[in-house]
Amino acid sequence: MGKRWRWGVILDAGSSGTRLHIYRWQDPAKALKDASYQELHSLPSIATKEKWTKKIRPGISTFGDHPEDVGPDHLQELVEQALRVIPDDKHADTPIFLMATAGMRLLPPLQQRAVITETCSYFRANTRFFLPDCDTHIQVIPGETEGLYGWIAANYLLGGFDDPEGHAHGKNHHTYGFLDMGGASAQIAFAPNATVAEQHGDDLKLLRLRSLNGAPKEYKVFTSTWLGFGVNQARHRYVDALVNEFLIDGEHEVPDPCLPRGLRTTEKGEIVKGKSNKLELVGTGQFDECLRRTHPLLGKDVPCDDEPCLLNGQHVPPIDFDVNHFVGVSEYWHTTHGVFADSRDDTAYDFNTYQKKVLEFCSRRWEDIEMNSGTRKKDHGKDAQEACFKASWLISVLHEGIGIPRLGIEHTQTPGFNISKGVGEAAKEKGFLSPFQAADEIDSVEISWTLGKMVLYAAGQVPPKDNYRLPVGFGSNVKGVPSDFQHAGSNYNATSAIDDDDDWADTAEDIIDHAKSNSTSVFFLFILVFLFIAFFLRKRDRRMRLYGKFNHILRRRRRPGSPRKVSLGLSSLTHKLFGRSSYNYERVLEEGDINQFELGETSSDEGDYSDSSSGAPRLGRSSGLATPKLNAGSFDDPKKHAHPGSAMDRSGLVVRTESRERLFPQMLNAGRRSRAASPTRLKSPLMSPLSEN
């Protein structure tokens, strides 16, 4: 029932802040041993928890002028969180990544390199996490790579990779497209149908994953990014166009059809109250006009050098919306399920319904909107005043830019294709038949590009089949390993041994986490009884080792400065289970003066679980935003080193200690002769060498 875990740490360094993500998956050697048929043909199972994420502001791009401060003033809080969560003995095998996106892309190259260098130095000086190469683990990633990671994450969570038949959309297609929009840029990633992929092969990336049985999973994916097409950058361009067209000399007011009627703001979106001579945007609440004025921002008039193009003259292969069903995250989710959502909403995006809500909201006066108590809070008020422009921009990008059909208005089926029969059973049951659907979480797991990166890394740890030795990663769409191939960064050297006691320690920790969130004491009592019985069925030496590891968990969870009631309270029990020597040994270590002891280099099972230098308590699946979550029901069904050495005291004398209880009684008064030369010790059949654990 146990698992041996692998861990991964990745920091998403965005423009507004840096977010820590911690992921965990089963070691391939252990997973292969217990895997079912379905699991053997699936990608490694990645797990996360909400408390394994943490975000701090602002972004690391703000340290461009003083990169030496990025560690202590920014990264330290996130590093401490990771050290608390991940077991000490796992740190050396845990990769750490920091990947920066839009904000860092705007910095000059010299500032980028300075921040990246300081970040890597800080990680190496303050952690033992696996960081062999700064250039691959700490970097500013292109928007196309960000989009590809997002595509992996979405299809991983939806089940498009592991259940092709259940997610068949027709034409032998079973993956989903991915759309992402932030404040500065927007990304698109999708796998074209077979015909388009053949015609536009040079435009595609070849992505190679690996299922648990070692077989490759290959996909040809198109990915692109539009810089300046995030909502904030689009708003700046929109306001500049309004001012250039409507500002009259001597005046300071400019009409803004994308603001609710009566709302007055500055160019930066700050609400203006009272009279002012500064430039003001005055809301007129005309959403139709708002739509008309956002359309030119798409850049549809920019020359297209390589047909076809979508936005800003950038080439994108033809999209077959019969089989390419897109998942939109970030602003696509917030703009459709934020201000305009209510309790009666279905999770699916419906153009007609959405547009009616937007028209009704954006035609209201700002005073009426303010009456809503939710807008009195700063964040909600900001969302309300920006909602109309964001809705207009989203509609323009989706339907006029990318070309996603308006569900219920435009025909989406190819002749002779019955979508109700062409899709797989999972799609028919779950209802994800539309060309677009916004999402934030799937089964309580956030759709984040960081997950895609970690899926790629975990897949690289799986041993390949003999006939399939090509590496995991992505690059140009050519056979073999192209020159620009980006490896997953991992290898498939499995751990040499699997210790079941690790499994029990992990299981115990998970149960403690569950008990904290479960108010049913009867259930918790049942679990404790079950573990107690199973504990006694194990061999005595294993019980001893397991107790040390379980006690380590409790010590990590105890708040700093709190008494050691747990360890001392179990004294009588541990005396009966393990003997007096085990208890006395632990008590000396906990209560004695550490300066009284000088131990040589030894290796023991308990040593593998020593406390971290941080001294912080260890924390115990979802990293989601505080927005309504979307269940999968809305989609398709988706070393140890033995070094006995000699123990030396400070004077260089050999110190030999041994528990009197382990010696044969006759030997207690055997004189002061060297024990090593004792024939009794060497020949007595009742004596055995002390085993090294």
Retrieve residue 248's tokens.
Answer: 């009259």
Helices (DSSP H) in 86-203: which residue ranges?
A: 102-105, 109-126, 134-137, 143-158, 194-199
Give the residue from 214, 297, 681 showing the smallest Cα distance to 465: 214
Centroid of chain to Cα 84: 17
Retrieve residue 199's tokens.
Answer: 């015609």
Q: How many CB atoms lie within 10 A of CB 31?
A: 21
Catalytic annotation on 425? no
Three-state SS string over 234-245 comes to HHHHHHHHHHHH
DSSP string, 300-369: TTS--SSS-B-STT-B-----TTT--EEEEEHHHHHHHSTT--TT--SS--HHHHHHHHHHHHTSBHHHH
Task: Say which of 146, 386, 446, 586 is annotated catalytic.
Answer: 146
Q: Can you tell me the distance from the alpha carbon of 140 to that of 60, in angstroms, rounded to the nearest whole number?
A: 11
Residue type, 600: G
Retrieve residue 411's tokens.
Answer: 């025909």
Instruction: Encode burial over 197-213: b for 16+ CB neighbours within 10 A, e otherwise.
Output: beebeebbbbbbbbbbb
Measured in residues, the chain has a length of 693
The angle that helices 351-362 and 287-294 make with each other, rounded to 10 degrees, is 110
Give the residue from 602, 601, 598 showing the smallest Cα distance to 651: 598
Q: Can you tell me the distance from the alpha carbon of 433 to that of 423, in angstroms, rounded to the nearest whole number?
A: 8
Give the residue from 549, 169, 178, 548 showing the smallest Cα distance to 329: 178
Three-state SS string over 50-61 comes to HHHEEEECCCHH
Centroid of chain to Cα 265: 37
Q: Which residues are catalytic?
A: 146
